[in-house]
Chain A
Amino acid sequence: MSNLAILPILLPFLAGVLVAFFHKNLIASRIFSIIATVIHLALTIFIFMSVQESGTYVLEVGGWEAPFGIVIVADPLSALLTMTTAVVATAAVIYAPKSLSRIQEEFYFYSFFFLLIAGVNGAFLTGDLFNLFVFFEVLLMASYGLIVLGNGKAQLRESLKYILINLFSSMLFVTTISFLYSVIGTVNMAQAAERVGEVEQQGVLTVIGILLFFVFATKAAVFPLYYWLPSSYTVPNAVVSALFGALLTKVGVYSILRTFTLIFNYEVDLTHTLFIYLAMFTMIFGVIGALSTNNVKLIIAYNVIPAVGFMLMGIGIFTETSIAGSIYYLVHDMIIKAVLFLLIGAVTYAAGTSDLKKMGGLIHHYPVLGWMFFLSTLVLAGIPPFSGFIGKLLLLQGGLNQEEILIVIVALISSLGILFSMIRIFIGGFWGEADIMDLPKQKPSLAAMTWPVGILLSLSILLGVGAEMFYPAVSSIAEYVMDPELYIESVLKE
Chain B
Amino acid sequence: MILPVLLPFIIAIFIPFLSKWKEKFHTGIVVTIVPLIIFIYFASFFAGGFSAVTKTYNWVPSLNMNLVFHLDGLSLLFVLLISGIGTLVALYSIYYLHTTENLGNFYVYFLIFMGSMLGLVLSDNVYALYSFWEFTSLSSFLLIGFWNHKHASRYGALKSMLITVFGGLSLLGALVFMHSITGTTSIQQMLADSEAILNSEFFPLILILLLLGAFTKSAQFPFHIWLPDAMEAPTPVSAYLHSATMVKAGLFLVARFSPMLSSSEWFFIIVSSFGILTLCWGSYMAVRQTDLKGILAFSTISQLGMIMAMLGFGTKVAVFAAMFHILNHATFKGSLFMVAGIVDHETGTRDIRKLGGLMNYLPMTATLAMFGVFSMAGFPLPFLNGFYSKEMFFLSSLDLSGQGDFASIVASLVPYLAVFGSIFTFVYSMYFFFGTFRGRANLGKLPKKPHEAPVGMLISPAILVLLVVIIGLFPSFINEPFISHAATAVYGADASKDIYFWHGFNLPLIMSLTVVAFGTILALTIPRWSSVYSYVPGVLSLNKAYDFTVDKSVSFSSKLTRGYMNGSLALYMKLILGAIILVSFAFFFLTDGFAIDTSQLASVTTIELIVAVTMAIAALGTIFTNNRIAAILILGVVGYGLSMLFIIYRAPDLALTQLIIETVTVALFLLVFYHLPSLNSRGESKPAKISNWIISIGFGLLVTTVAISSHSSKWFDSISSYFVENSYKLGGGDNIVNVILVDMRGLDTIFEITVLGLAAMAIYSLIKIKNKKEE
Contacts and interface: CB of A to CB of B under 8 A. Distances in A.
Contact of A432 (B154, B161, B723, B752): B154
A419 interface: yes
A361 interface: yes
Given A161-B572, A400-B177, A471-B63, A211 B706 contact: yes
B674 interface: no
Contacts of A195: 715-716
Interface in A215-272: 218, 224-225, 227-228, 230-231, 267, 270-271
B169 A416 contact: yes
A152 B73 CA distance: 67
A120 B744 CA distance: 22
Contact of B573 (A104, A165, A383, A423): A165
A291 B553 contact: yes
Given A142-B758, A472-B62, A393 B176 contact: yes
A3 B387 CA distance: 81
Contact of B170 (A119, A151, A389, A412): A412
Contacts of A179: 706-707, 710
A148 interface: yes
A64 interface: yes
Contact of B565 (A103, A188, A289): A289
Q: Which of A148, A184, A227, A397 has the most CB of B within 10 A?
A: A227
Interface stretch (A67-75, A334-342, A443-451, A480-488): A67-75
Interface in B471-530: none
Nearest to B554: A291
Contacts of A420: 162, 553
Contacts of A288: 556-557, 560-561
A354 B766 CA distance: 25
A385 B131 contact: yes
B46 interface: no
A203 interface: yes
A138 B758 contact: yes
A475 B557 contact: no
B751 A412 contact: no
Nearest to A151: B769
Contact of B148 (A148, A184, A431): A431
Interface string A134-154: 110110011011001111000
Contacts of B717: 185
Q: Which of B556, B584, B710 has the most CB of A within 10 A?
A: B710
B180 interface: yes
Contact of A141 (B579, B723, B758): B758
Contacts of A186: 716, 718-719
Contact of A64 (B557, B575, B744, B769): B744
Contacts of A218: 576
Contacts of B713: 182-183, 203-205
Given A211-B706, A378-B138, A416-B169, A134 B751 contact: yes
B669 interface: no
Contacts of B688: none
Contacts of B135: 383
Contact of A227 (B576, B722, B751, B768): B576
A332 to B, nearest CB: 14
Given A384-B127, A416-B165, A68 B759 contact: no
Nearest to B134: A383
Contacts of A119: 751
Given A182-B710, A203-B593, A385-B131, A62 B746 contact: yes
A271 B560 CA distance: 29
Contact of B770 (A118, A151, A468): A151
B169 A68 contact: no
A468 B706 contact: no
Interface in A457-487: 467-468, 471-472, 475
Contacts of A103: 769, 772
A353 interface: no
B631 to A, nearest CB: 17
B62 A475 contact: yes
A227 B169 contact: no
Contacts of A20: 761
A181 B707 CA distance: 11
Interface in B572-599: 572-573, 575-576, 579-580, 583-584, 587-588, 590-595
A interface SS class: helix
Interface stretch (A36-44, A87-95, A107-115): A107-115
Interface residues of A, number: 114
Interface in B47-82: 58-63, 65
A207 B591 contact: yes
B755 A138 contact: yes
A107 B583 contact: no
B583 A274 contact: yes
B761 A431 contact: no
Interface string A192-209: 000100010011111110
Interface string B217-246: 000000000000000000000000000000
B747 interface: yes
A164 B573 CA distance: 9
A188 B710 CA distance: 18
B668 interface: no
Interface string A377-389: 0100001110001
Contacts of B173: 396, 408-409, 412
B765 interface: yes
Interface in A270-328: 270-271, 274, 288-293
B79 to A, nearest CB: 21
A131 interface: yes
A170 to B, nearest CB: 11
A28 interface: no
B748 A68 contact: no
A70 B165 contact: no
A230 B565 contact: yes
A224 B127 contact: no
B62 A471 contact: yes
B33 interface: no
Nearest to B133: A384
B758 A112 contact: yes
A61 interface: yes
A471 B59 CA distance: 12
Contacts of A188: 719
A434 interface: yes
Contacts of B773: 151
B711 interface: yes
A433 interface: yes
Contact of A107 (B575, B587, B758, B768): B768
Given A69-B745, A467-B63, A145 B761 contact: yes
Interface of B: 58-63, 65, 127, 130-131, 134-135, 138, 145, 148-149, 154, 157-158, 161-162, 165-166, 169-170, 172-173, 176-177, 179-180, 202, 205, 553-554, 556-562, 564-565, 567, 569, 571-573, 575-576, 579-580, 583-584, 587-588, 590-595, 703, 706-707, 709-711, 713-720, 722-723, 726, 730, 743-748, 751-752, 754-755, 758-759, 761-762, 764-766, 768-770, 772-773
Interface of A: 13, 20, 61-62, 64, 67-70, 103-104, 107-108, 111-112, 115, 118-119, 122, 130-131, 134-135, 137-138, 141-142, 144-145, 148-151, 160-161, 164-165, 168, 172, 175, 179-186, 188, 191, 195, 199, 202-208, 210-211, 214, 218, 224-225, 227-228, 230-231, 267, 270-271, 274, 288-293, 361, 363, 378, 383-385, 389-390, 393-394, 396-397, 400-401, 403, 405, 408-409, 412-413, 415-416, 419-420, 423, 427, 431-434, 467-468, 471-472, 475
Given A185-B717, A288-B561, 12 more contacts: A62-B743, A68-B723, A131-B747, A141-B758, A185-B718, A211-B584, A291-B553, A383-B134, A409-B173, A416-B165, A433-B149, A468-B58
Q: What 9 pairs between A and B have smallest CB-CB spacing?
A: A185-B718, A384-B131, A107-B765, A145-B762, A292-B561, A431-B148, A204-B709, A227-B572, A291-B557
